[in-house]
Amino acid sequence: MEIFRMGNIVNMPQQGMAVDEQATLAPAPMDPYAAMKRHARRVKRRMIIGKKLKFKDGQWLYGLKDEHRIELGTQMVVAFPLVLYGYIRFDSGKLVEQIVGPVIEDFEPPPRSELGFLTQSEWPIGLDGKPADPYQLRYAVPMKRVGQFGEIFTYVTTTPTALDRVGNLLDMIASRGTFHRGSLPIIELQTDSFASRYGRMVAAAKFGIRGLRNWEPEEVFTEAYDALGDGEDTTETEGSRRQAEPDPRNAYREASQLLGVQRQQAAQRHIQANPPPLPPRQQVQQRDDLDDFLEERDDYRDARLRV
């Protein structure tokens, strides 16, 4: 699986262009985010990366039947270059159409009036017993749990409140991102509530940003993403989605072992260059030994002088 890498931007001729082998092309200046944009374009039809994450009844859930829960306050690295936005359409509980694009390419979905299915009498019945629009706006936000062996999730939502909050998060990232190029922001998964128009309190997803003070290198996400492989099932249903869940820890084991050896060697070199002071008792013994040596040396010198 190919993933964006800001350090590997290469100028390549377009397919079909005549290339003069003798000519030398000077590298053109390029925004480092261009590599991430190209990658986002390649995967724009794949809205779910890793495990599908949802917010339901005040909890962050994942799994085929939402059987796994993520604790509130869990920190996540947000892969904002891969965030997708647009319309999706379900038919008989199965995803049949998606008109989505990368947010970093300033993608704008077409007006709803151009998508068809405008006759409400033909719409399916929603959970509230009323006709529900088959087209829904949706965000897909890839993120990775903070930690060496953190899993990759994609938070998806179609609720208006959550869409607004994702938009606010992206706005904050856009404001801070220019100072953290090559890095991804860290957020916390939280929850709060608001009063609905019917007067009852409703739980809502919340992202703890703390001013987006904490960022991690993009390699933290790309290494875990590389470990996912290409064998995921892309069939998505409205109620559940089958996904391959390979263990991303395999990609980190070799690096972590090497890092452990390097740290141990560095610690040994530091101890050799900066030996720790002797304990007080050994220092006293060392002073006594020195005094005895000096006394014996003086006695020997006096004896030689008398001879």
Q: Which of 126-130, 151-155, 242-246 has the highest mean pLDDT?
A: 151-155
Mean pLDDT, rounded, for 80-104: 89
Residue 241 has pLDDT above 60, yes or no: no
Please write down the HEC assignment for all residues of 93-132: CEEEEEEEEEHHHCCCCCCHHHCCCCCHHHCCECCCCCEC
- As a whole number of angstroms, the distance between CA 272 and CA 283 comes to 19
Q: 154 with 140: CB under 8 angstroms?
A: yes
- As a whole number of angstroms, the distance between CA 188 and CA 206 comes to 8
Counting residues of the chain whose pLDDT is more than 90, the rounded percentage is: 35
- As a whole number of angstroms, the distance between CA 306 and CA 178 comes to 85
Residue 43 has pLDDT above 80, yes or no: no
Give Cβ neighbours of residue 100 (< 8 Å, ≥ 6 apart): 44, 45, 47, 84, 85, 86, 87, 88, 107, 109, 138, 140
- As a whole number of angstroms, the distance between CA 280 and CA 7 comes to 53
Give whole-number Cα distances, 270 to 172, 177, 190, 259, 282, in Å.
43, 37, 43, 16, 22
Domain spans of the chain? 33-244
* Residue 60 confidence (pLDDT): 96
Structure tokens at 215: 């960022």
* Residue 169 confidence (pLDDT): 94
Residue 166 has pLDDT above 70, yes or no: yes
* Residue 35 confidence (pLDDT): 63
pLDDT band at 37 (very low <50, low <70, confident <90, very high): low
The 10s digit of each residue's pLDDT in 286-297 is: 556 666 666 776
Mean pLDDT value across the chain: 75
- As a whole number of angstroms, the distance between CA 220 and CA 252 comes to 10
The 10s digit of each residue's pLDDT in 257-307 is: 555 555 666 667 776 777 766 555 555 555 566 666 667 767 666 666 665
* Residue 287 confidence (pLDDT): 59
* Residue 52 confidence (pLDDT): 93
Rounded to two decimals, the pTM is 0.61
* Residue 196 confidence (pLDDT): 77
